[in-house]
Amino acid sequence: MRDLFRVIGPLLRYDLRRYLIGGLFWLPVRVLPLITGLVLKLIFDAISGGQRIDLPLTWWLCALFVAAELVRSLIMWLAWTYGVYWWDATATVLRANLLRSILTAPGAPAGRLPATSGATMARLRDDVANLVDFSDDFIALTGTLLFAIGALAVLAAIDWVIMVALVVPMIIVAILSTWANRTVTRLYAEAQERGARVVGFLGETFNSILAVRTGGAEASVGARLARLNRDRRRAEVRSRSASSLLDAATGASVELGIGLVLLLAAGALRSGELTVGDIVIFTTYVSWLTALPRTLGAMLLKAPRAAVATQRLGRLISPQESVEDLVRDTTVWYGATEAPDPPPAGRHPDPLRELEVRDLTVRQPGGRAVVQDVTFRIRRGSVTMITGAVGAGKTTVLRGLLGLIDLDGGSIRWNGRDVSEPGTFLVPPRVAYASQTPRLFSASIRENLRLGWADHDLDRALQLAALTEDVAAMPAGLATMIGPRGVRLSGGQLQRTAAARAILRRPDLLIVDDLSSALDVETEAQLWQRLTAEAALATDPITVLAVSHRRAALAQATDIVVLDQGRVVGQGPLDQLLSNCAELRRLWAEETDLEAGERGDGYTRLAAYPGRRP
């Protein structure tokens, strides 16, 4: 609960003006029944007083009652209309800050995110809504408390014994609700977790429909979904049952209060101590006083949900941030329609001269080292290749270098200066990254390349990524829509689009992971020749760090780092490693046989790749 109340205060203060204006609308909605109850008492006392009825006064009282209800209805409409602005703005703030932390905050985001994107989306949708709903209910609670104070004062003036009989059941239920709070919290957290699993599995299924159909896995997918839904249903039933019991207890206290009022009032009415109007105001106020235990009960139910939501949202933000950072000014995130142009290449402080990676180590949660004591150095204008067998740790080295996963040891130095937070330092325009499995949006090629950046170097990026001819052959060129996850592009086009997107940032260091694995031999050779030619420029050269086992890439490298089971077993130029590194000779021979089968010419010599760097 501590984290919850650390968030609630800043959340209410974020857009305090709208929150207070919305509260000023809602408070009359809750308090005006005080007036209507008093008017009804006067009407019924006038009708049943045994005296001649003053019809004009009675009609005026009826008109006042109708007017009060009309005004209350109008204010309620205004409150609903205006309150949406605060609710949506606050929810947007939370979601924008979560996205900001995931994308830009120090520390690797991989360990903070759930296993599936669907589970993350469930947190952004449901947990944010639960937290904002709980904050919004403080206005309703304030209004019902004000009404209760006024109503109880009026009722106590009429008969304090009946008033006490009305309040005691409500107090008992509030105590029971507080006592059951821990159980409700646990059951709700379990239900949310089960629901997130269903959402995550559905998201993965929709993204893998082709694999499901071609693999004949329809029945298996349906069975797994049924199991997940069954677990979710059981958890949801337990959670809702606990909530329903509390709600039923609240309702029972209301009914019990009404019964006690009628029972105690019957004798007083016969003896003349109470008038008909007194009974009317008691029963009228009782019906409105039910809002207090119901609102309080609802908040007692929502409090554990909001606490669980705060905990789950807090796990998404960086360890260097606190839950208060969920609420801050994010106008730059959701107020701007276009991102500003990035700084020109080479204009950022301290452009790359040398990048040194020393003793880089990454371990699995169980303690086994995936990569250990990896050391290499990259100089400006060089082309460095990291190679090794499948599972050697090549991609892990890149992800650890970029801060996408947490390091267990080692250091990274940029021009001799330690980089303590690679995830926020090694970003464009210093470093750009094209991953092994490119992620594209369901948008045009141009939008996927830009992602908000300026496109004045777009032709250069397409040329270096060997994508110019492919784009020219498309019906709409750069405006071609590529579909969800780039489904309308081939594997090679996906890889080269990701490479062009990285090159467009004009980084000091271009990092690519297995860039040419889906390319034919000719396109692959063309791609690496262009990149290495760009790296050899006298002014503003590009520096490349790549993962590849392909001969066309290795032949162009100035330096090669050979990994075997997470350790460096060889480092140097190609000719040297072919003579003294058994692991590289084995990989070279396997790749030679594979490429010979692809080309169908029996054997492909190294000389088949023109433009090899000395």
pLDDT at 604 over 50: no
Looking at the structure, do residues 58 and 92 belong to the same domain, yes or no?
A: yes
Looking at the structure, do residues 47 and 182 belong to the same domain, yes or no?
A: yes
Higher pLDDT, 77 or 169: 77
Distance CA 565, CA 20 (A): 62
What would the mean pLDDT of 111-118 be, rounded to a whole number? 66
Most confident of 150-164, 253-267, 380-394: 380-394
pLDDT value, residue 574 = 92
Mean of the per-residue pLDDT values for the chain?
79
pLDDT value, residue 44 = 78
Distance CA 126, CA 138 (A): 19
Give residue-wise pLDDT tens across range 154-176: 878 877 777 777 777 767 766 76
pLDDT at 126 over 70: yes
- How many angstroms separate the Cα of 186 from the Cα of each of 29, 68, 174? 35, 44, 19
pLDDT at 146 over 80: yes
Q: What percent of the chain has pLDDT over 90?
A: 14
Which pLDDT band, with edges at 50, 70 and 90, does 610 fall under?
very low
For tokens 């609240």, the residue is 250
Q: Out of 298, 333, 368, pick the residue that ends a domain.
A: 333
pLDDT at 368 over 90: no
Give the tokens for residue 567. Answer: 């350790």
pLDDT at 333 over 60: no
What would the mean pLDDT of 194-202 be, rounded to a whole number? 79
Would residue 557 count as lying in a domain? yes
Would residue 407 count as lying in a domain? yes
Q: Out of 333, 363, 390, pick the residue that ends a domain.
A: 333
Within a 10 A sphere around the Cβ of 214, how many other Cβ atoms?
8
Within a 10 A sphere around the Cβ of 613, how many other Cβ atoms?
17
Distance CA 595, CA 302 (A): 62
What would the mean pLDDT of 354-366 be, rounded to a whole number? 87
pLDDT at 577 over 80: yes
Which one-letter DSSP state was computed for residue 125?
A: I
Most confident of 333-337, 345-349, 567-571: 567-571
Looking at the structure, do residues 180 and 46 belong to the same domain, yes or no?
A: yes
Distance CA 327, CA 235 (A): 31
Give residue-wise pLDDT tens across range 394-406: 999 998 999 888 8
What would the mean pLDDT of 27-44 be, rounded to a whole number? 81
Are 356 and 509 in contact by the 8 Å Cβ rule? The answer is no
pLDDT at 199 over 70: yes
pLDDT at 602 over 50: no
Higher pLDDT, 501 or 516: 501
Looking at the structure, do residues 203 and 310 belong to the same domain, yes or no?
A: yes
Would residue 486 count as lying in a domain? no
What would the mean pLDDT of 62-81 be, rounded to a whole number? 81
Would residue 287 count as lying in a domain? yes
Smallest CA-to-CA distance from 195 within 122, 249, 268, 142 is with 122
Cβ neighbours for 37, distance < 8 A, ≥ 6 positions apart: 151, 154, 281, 284, 285, 288
Which pLDDT band, with edges at 50, 70 and 90, does 228 fall under?
confident
Full residue range of the structural domain in which residue 232 is found:
2-333
Read off the CATH number of the domain in which 565 is found.
3.40.50.300
Looking at the structure, do residues 311 and 424 belong to the same domain, yes or no?
A: no
Higher pLDDT, 9 or 507: 507
Looking at the structure, do residues 416 and 299 belong to the same domain, yes or no?
A: no
What would the mean pLDDT of 567-594 be, rounded to a whole number? 89
Looking at the structure, do residues 381 and 303 belong to the same domain, yes or no?
A: no
Would residue 514 count as lying in a domain? no
Would residue 454 count as lying in a domain? no
Peptide bond between residue 293 and the one before it cis (omega within 30 degrees of 0): no
Looking at the structure, do residues 329 and 416 belong to the same domain, yes or no?
A: no
Would residue 328 count as lying in a domain? yes
Q: Is 148 exposed, middle or buried (0-12, 13-18, 19+ CB in 10 A)?
A: buried
Would residue 498 count as lying in a domain? no
Distance CA 107, CA 181 (A): 35
Looking at the structure, do residues 74 and 40 belong to the same domain, yes or no?
A: yes
Which pLDDT band, with edges at 50, 70 and 90, does 365 fall under?
low
Higher pLDDT, 614 or 256: 256
User: How many domains does one find in the chain?
Assistant: 2
What would the mean pLDDT of 51-64 be, rounded to a whole number? 64
Tell me the HSE value of 188 on the side-chain side, using a 13 A CA sphere.
Answer: 24
Higher pLDDT, 531 or 270: 531
Q: Out of 285, 305, 333, pick the residue that ends a domain.
A: 333
Looking at the structure, do residues 266 and 301 belong to the same domain, yes or no?
A: yes
Tell me the HSE value of 487 on the side-chain side, using a 13 A CA sphere.
Answer: 9
pLDDT at 183 over 90: no
Most confident of 44-58, 64-78, 365-379: 365-379
Cβ neighbours for 235, distance < 8 A, ≥ 6 positions apart: 187, 190, 191, 193, 194, 195
Segment among 205-219, 291-305, 597-611 with least mean pLDDT: 597-611
Which pLDDT band, with edges at 50, 70 and 90, does 54 fall under?
low
Read off the CATH number of the domain in which 253 is found.
1.20.1560.10
Give residue-wise pLDDT tens across range 447-476: 888 887 777 788 999 999 888 988 999 888
Which stretches of 390-489 are assigned E, i.e. beta strand? 409-414, 417-418, 431-434
Residue 363, SS3? Answer: strand
Residue 373, SS3? Answer: strand
Peptide bond between residue 429 and the one before it cis (omega within 30 degrees of 0): yes
Segment among 40-54, 136-150, 490-504, 549-563 with least mean pLDDT: 40-54
What would the mean pLDDT of 545-558 be, rounded to a whole number? 89
Radius of gyration from C-alpha coordinates of the chain:
35
Looking at the structure, do residues 419 and 286 belong to the same domain, yes or no?
A: no
Are 429 and 130 in contact by the 8 Å Cβ rule? The answer is no
Which stretches of 389-453 are assigned E, i.e. beta strand? 409-414, 417-418, 431-434
Which pLDDT band, with edges at 50, 70 and 90, does 84 fall under?
confident
What would the mean pLDDT of 502-530 be, rounded to a whole number? 84
Which pLDDT band, with edges at 50, 70 and 90, does 353 fall under?
very high
Higher pLDDT, 338 or 234: 234
Smallest CA-to-CA distance from 552 within 521, 573, 577 is with 521
Cβ neighbours for 149, distance < 8 A, ≥ 6 positions apart: none
For tokens 């390319």, the residue is 519
Looking at the structure, do residues 395 and 294 belong to the same domain, yes or no?
A: no
